[in-house]
Every structure is written in structure tokens, then in C-alpha cells.
Structure 1
């Protein structure tokens, strides 16, 4: 909520605003509603930016590619940022009518610029070869409680686990580098000339063609890379590296900055793909973190309720309530589920 724009152009630079305009959903609606409550003086500016973004319908009308669309949109944002009238109008925005004038001037200027940009695009022909080769980055995410399958430009496939984000270039002409925050299972198409690299926090995983799992949630204290087929090289920021083969995994300790290698249990590390939730001597705080991501809930512990030790258990396609019932017996607690929150108290 620290975003404090100075002009409508600032909204057009905000990824959550653009995502809200392109693909509105309940979560984003709630985000911007709360933002307006915290910044009531910026509500008119947000509405103006929203109307401005809606006027950019020429992408579909003229069948402009995503790369060219982004390039023109960047020019539009730059134009708005430099629009001198914004500063003058801002000084007198207490006058309601002048606020409306501010909106119309911005919108009119932007529509005028759109016309010029589109005219130039078609009048002078396609962009130069250097412009056409410009790479843009694509971002895909899976929210809590959701798993998503993604196809990459080279035909490789990625399955994203809950609360994870994957970023990758719009084409793999020069390299195959992707960035992961969270957990994903990769099935990589083999290409000896272009190794496939996953950057995840402090780890870098490089392969030619293989299938493997990477888990690197920012809040976790331990990351892993587990190989199913092929061979993988894992390297850390501080210079450690390991080669891992099928049935092997590397484990990275964030606090110790240490990298170890060993065997792994498939259901424990990769079973999530098949809706198998397995805990194997897992500290209880990690158990609740994982349940929070898996079922899209928050946990509230009454009167400082906390649990030491570790938990083991396996569940296949089970409801949250069935999982909690299994834990309730061993931990001796009471729980209730209300409005997306699990409230836990000792018996």
C-alpha cells in the first residue's frame, strides 16, 4: 500500500494496476478499494487513469503485436509523465471542476498521442530488425489454493504450485532463462545449444533437457531441487555447486548458506503435482505455512498457542478439515474455520 502516484502516468507503470485493468478479479478489486480508502485524495486520479487505459483499444483494432503494443504503451507513459499541464492543474485541484478539466486534458492528450503513434506505426512500416528482436518478459502466477500449468516458448511445460510466480522472456531465441519465486515442476525440451536455467532466490539450476522440481519460497528457510529425469547442475550465489541425477535432490539451507545432496521421497517433494500433501519430519511452523498456501487460508493461534517438534503425515486430495482432524489428534488442539481463517486453541 506504499504506492503514492503523482500523475495518472504512474498508475500505468504499476503492474497490479495494469493487471487489474486487463484481468480484473475479486482480489484485485479488494486491493484497489482498500488503496482508495487509504488515499482518498488520489481516487479521482485513479479513475482518470482507469478511463485513460480503457481508451487504448487500438491494439486489437489494428492487430498490433504484444511487443509493438508494449513499445507504444511505453511511449504513451513517457508522454504523460512529461505533460506540463499536469503540474499546473495539480496546484489548483481543490476546485472540482478543474479536477475534471485535468482528467479531460490528460485523456485528450493521450488519445491524440495514440493517434500519432498508430499513424507512425503503419505509415512508416514495421519496426527495424533491432526493435523486432527486443525481448519482453512474461509473468505468470498461481494464487494460494491454485495450481497452474504453463507452456513456454520452446515447448517446455511448467506446473506452478500455489502462491508461486514464474517470469520468462517472450521468446527463447538468445537464451532460456526463467525466474521462479515459489515452487514449480519443469519438463524441459532438450536443446544442447541453449541450456535451460531457473533462477530461484539464491539458487541457479541449469539443464539441457530434463524434468525436475524447484522449491524456493522467499519465506522458507530451506530450498530444494529434485530431479526426476536427466541431469541438473545447481549453483549458489556464494560459489557452491552440485550435479544431481534422477532420484537425487539438493537441499539449500538459507541461514547456513550450505548446499547438500541426497535421496528424496517423491511424494514429499513432488507429490503436490498429484494433489498429494506429505509431511516428513516437518517442523510445525512449516506445516502451517504449507497448509496456508495449499488451501488459501490464514492461521490464528489463540493465547500464544505454539508447537515444538516435527510432524509426519500423508494426505491425498483431502479437504482441509480432514487434514486438521488428523493433526488435531496428535497435537491435542481445538480448531474452527471462519471466513478463510483457521483459529486454533489448545484443549
Structure 2
């Protein structure tokens, strides 16, 4: 057994052990019954190789003191400790790695470190560009909130929270899936670009893909239910209240058009469109007529002022939709007798 441990010890010093072997070694060395001098020949090699690289850190010195205490407790009074003194420097060098009893114990306990969270909230009419710790880029839309950790752990999940709208350009990392939580919905990728629309007060959730592949799932009572795998040009529209969804195609250039002040609406009801226009243009819109609730529009507005947008809606409705803009209060009143 001791011969095997000595061989294992030598491999550890050379950096050739795996986690299981290190566990066996550390548990053996942690036992006071094994704090004798059978490792002197191994330490001799460590002394020769490491004599110029002594570690004087607090952890090493404290660890060395504990080993001396163990040795002194086990040595007969008449027995000299001189052979061990020769290797004191070697023990200090390797203390935290090979005889670091406390360091090893800490690795067996769950990490207690807390990763700080960072949040960014945008106002109506505002959009910002953010760079995450992994170099992924996020364009955060108006009236939205993004929360992310101050750093991502390599090999772990890159989890963030979105309330609102954002376009993501995710840095590819096959060992660390990128997951966006939006209410009861979850979007997972490795490296791609996509847009999420997930305002908490709205009744719809959508994901549209520009590049790569995206998996969209619903979190139902703690269980994930995969809804769809999306590829470029695909968009999922999920109705939160009805808990049903549709998947359709759209131009990839329209996925993140809002970043450049181009807003595309496809078969959208007037109330939902007005909610989006409120956020984009930082105005308050009052819809005074229920007769307009079922009006649906297909429209794209590129670099238009809100007054131009309202005029185009007036024309598209067959002039049944009427509006009034109060520039002082930034309020738009909308009424009418329905659409053509």
C-alpha cells in the first residue's frame, strides 16, 4: 500500500494524477498515522527540483506548522527529527498541493462563493448595447430589463433573465450553454443570434432567429417542455394565456430591424401594436374605441416619426382610425369606427 502511495505521490508532484487518484492520496496523507517519513525519498526529489521555488504564503506556513505538530506527537522523545528538517523547504513547497489537508477538505465542500448579479433597465424610447462577461453582445430594447452574473463559470450554464425585448449575439461555447429565462419561457443556445420579445404585461412571447439554432421551452410547474427548435428565418409566437403557439417564417433582416429604428408588424392587432409604439417612441397612447380592438395590421416603419406612423395607420385603416397628438404631454388619442 505504501509503495503505491509513494508512486502516486510522485505522479501527483508531476501533475499526472486524476481527481480520483488525488482523493485517495489526500485522504491517506490526512491520516495522522501516515505522517511518518516513508516519503523522504520522494521529498528528496522534490527538494532537488523545487529548492529555488519555496512558497512562503500564509496557507503554506500554517499547513507546515500543523504537520510538525503531527510529527512531534508521533515521534518518541529519543528519536531525532533531523531527517525531516532536511526536507522542510520541500514540505513548504508542496504543502498546499500534496499535504494541504485543509485545502483538500475545502474542495469536498460546496462552494459558498456568491456571484454578484448586474441589472440594466431601459426607459421608454431608449435602447442600449451591452457586452456580457463572455463577450456576448446584447441590444436591450425600450422598457426592458436584463439581469446577468458578473462572471460566467467555465463549463457551467450562462444564465440570464430578460423582461422585455432584446437581440442577442451569443459568443459560442459548446461547454457552456447560454440560457435566457423570460417568465415561464426558456431559450437555450450555444452560439447564435436571435431576438426575444417577452414583456411581462403583454400576452405574447416570441423568439426569432437570425443565425444558428435556438431551442425554446416552456417551464410548466418546474418541468421543461420543449416547444420548438428554430433555425434562421424561423419565429415562434407563444400566447401566454391560451398556452398555445405557432411557428412561421420571416426575413432574417427583420429579426433585429428595431435596432436600426425599423419596426415590422405582421398580422398584429392594433392594441398590441400601440403598446410597442409606446415603448419605441416614449409616448402615451390612449385607445378610446373598442371597435378598433380587432383591427389587424401588416406594416413596416423605417426611421419614421410617430406622427408619420400614425398617419400611415390612418390611411391603412381606410381612414376609419382617427387620432390626435398632444405634443406637450406626449399623448396620442386614438378612436374610430373599426377598420375596412
**Structure 1 residues 145 and 267, CA gap change in structure 2 (3 angstroms):** farther
- Asked if 1:297 is matched to 2:283, the reply is yes
- Superposition deviation, residue 253 in structure 1: 1.5
- Superposition deviation, residue 303 in structure 1: 6.7
Deviations 1:9-48 (A, max 9, x none): xxxxxxxxxxxxxxxxxxxxxxxxxxxxxxxxxxxxxxxx
- Superposition deviation, residue 267 in structure 1: 5.5
Which consecutive unaligned segments of at least 5 residues does structure 1 have? 1-127
**Structure 1 residues 153 and 131, CA gap change in structure 2 (3 angstroms):** same
The aligned residue for residue 341 of structure 1 is 331
Provide the rounded CA distance (Å) in 2 between the counterparts of 1:242 and 1:306. 33
- Asked if 1:247 is matched to 2:233, the reply is yes
**Structure 1 residues 183 and 334, CA gap change in structure 2 (3 angstroms):** closer
- Superposition deviation, residue 266 in structure 1: 3.8
- Superposition deviation, residue 344 in structure 1: 2.8
**Structure 1 residues 254 and 268, CA gap change in structure 2 (3 angstroms):** farther
Contact kept, 8 Å, 2:194 with 2:255, in 1: the verdict is: no
Deviations 1:249-299 (A, max 9, x none): 222121221243331244554311221112222101011111111111111
Map 1:43-192 onto structure 2 (within 5 A): 133-173=113-153, 174-192=156-174
Provide the rounded CA distance (Å) in 2 between the counterparts of 1:243 and 1:175. 19
Map 1:246-265 onto structure 2 (within 5 A): 246-265=232-251
SS at match of 2:279: helix
- Asked if 1:208 is matched to 2:194, the reply is no
- Superposition deviation, residue 219 in structure 1: 1.9
Contact kept, 8 Å, 2:145 with 2:162, in 1: the verdict is: yes
Contact kept, 8 Å, 1:228 with 1:247, in 2: the verdict is: yes
> In the comparison of the two structures, how many residue pairs are matched?
220
**Structure 1 residues 267 and 163, CA gap change in structure 2 (3 angstroms):** farther
- Asked if 1:227 is matched to 2:209, the reply is yes
**Structure 1 residues 133 and 260, CA gap change in structure 2 (3 angstroms):** same
SS at match of 2:299: strand
Deviations 1:33-87 (A, max 9, x none): xxxxxxxxxxxxxxxxxxxxxxxxxxxxxxxxxxxxxxxxxxxxxxxxxxxxxxx
The aligned residue for residue 286 of structure 1 is 272
- Asked if 1:193 is matched to 2:175, the reply is yes
SS at match of 1:213: strand
Provide the rounded CA distance (Å) in 1 between the counterparts of 2:177 and 2:281. 35
Deviations 1:106-131 (A, max 9, x none): xxxxxxxxxxxxxxxxxxxxxx9999
SS at match of 1:237: strand
Provide the rounded CA distance (Å) in 2 between the counterparts of 1:305 and 1:273. 32
The aligned residue for residue 67 of structure 1 is none
Provide the rounded CA distance (Å) in 2 between the counterparts of 1:307 and 1:213. 26
SS at match of 1:149: strand
Deviations 1:90-118 (A, max 9, x none): xxxxxxxxxxxxxxxxxxxxxxxxxxxxx
- Superposition deviation, residue 234 in structure 1: 1.0
CA RMSD in angstroms comes to 2.4
**Structure 1 residues 168 and 299, CA gap change in structure 2 (3 angstroms):** same
More helix by percentage: 1
- Asked if 1:325 is matched to 2:307, the reply is no
Provide the rounded CA distance (Å) in 2 between the counterparts of 1:267 and 1:315. 14
Provide the rounded CA distance (Å) in 1 between the counterparts of 2:254 and 2:173. 30
Contact kept, 8 Å, 2:210 with 2:253, in 1: the verdict is: no
Provide the rounded CA distance (Å) in 1 between the counterparts of 2:272 and 2:186. 23
